[in-house]
């Protein structure tokens, strides 16, 4: 496989790889490193890529595994939570602050989910993968993916309702 063919194959899902890595590692720098490491590994094994039914699914699985390894390492203690990628024009300052608070709260709630639920909600709701694709990536049955996603959404919904109804009887 030549470089141009390799780039044509892997570049369409580069941003998805980065977003999954960022969701798991939180740090932009760590996510960039993970993305770079993944593409380096794919390039080293470019001759084997044709053996995979879905290179994108394989890359996502590699990303997930790499991120989990990074989180388990001792260097993971310095990862910081930063969410500054939500912007909307044409709203009042109060409304914008409310929206930013809500988005930050949802990100925080997602971060507090168990790892599997966090990854499934990222792949399904943010990256918009199909259940079968997620099942293949995570080596689970589509039914288990649906159940886990439902539980994650329910947890987030309950926590948001609890926060918004605070002090109201």
Rounded to the nearest integer, the mean pLDDT of the chain is 82
Would residue 85 count as lying in a domain?
no
- The Cα 7–Cα 43 span in angstroms is 9
Question: Which is more confident, 168 or 45?
Answer: 45
State whether 60 and 99 are in the same domain: no
What residues make up the domain containing 41? 1-76
pLDDT at 47: 85
Would residue 84 count as lying in a domain?
no
pTM of the model: 0.54
Which of 76, 107, 142 is at the close of a domain?
A: 76
Would residue 169 count as lying in a domain?
yes
Q: How confident is the model at residue 117 (pLDDT cuts 50, 70, 90)?
A: very high
Which of 43, 76, 109 is at the close of a domain?
A: 76
**How many structural domains are present in the chain?**
2
Sign of CA dihedral 53, 59, 60, 61: positive
In this predicted structure, the answer to whether residue 34 has a pLDDT above a threshold of 60 is yes
């Amino acid at each position: 496989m030549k470089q141009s063919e390799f780039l044509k194959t892997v570049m369409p899902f580069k941003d998805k790889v980065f977003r999954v890595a960022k969701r798991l590692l939180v740090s932009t720098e760590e996510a960039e490193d993970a993305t770079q490491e993944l593409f380096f590994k794919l390039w080293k094994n470019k001759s084997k890529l044709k053996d995979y039914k879905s290179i994108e699914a394989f890359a996502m699985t590699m990303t997930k595994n790499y991120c989990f390894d990074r989180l388990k390492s001792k260097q993971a203690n310095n990862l910081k939570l930063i969410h500054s990628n939500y912007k909307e024009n044409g709203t009042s300052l109060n409304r914008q602050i409310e929206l930013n608070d809500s988005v930050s709260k949802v990100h925080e709630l997602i971060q507090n989910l168990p790892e599997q639920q966090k990854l499934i909600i990222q792949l399904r709701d943010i990256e918009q993968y199909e259940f079968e694709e997620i099942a293949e990536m995570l080596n689970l049955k589509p039914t288990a993916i649906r159940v886990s996603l439902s539980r994650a959404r329910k947890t987030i919904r309950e926590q948001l309702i609890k926060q918004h109804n605070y002090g109201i009887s």
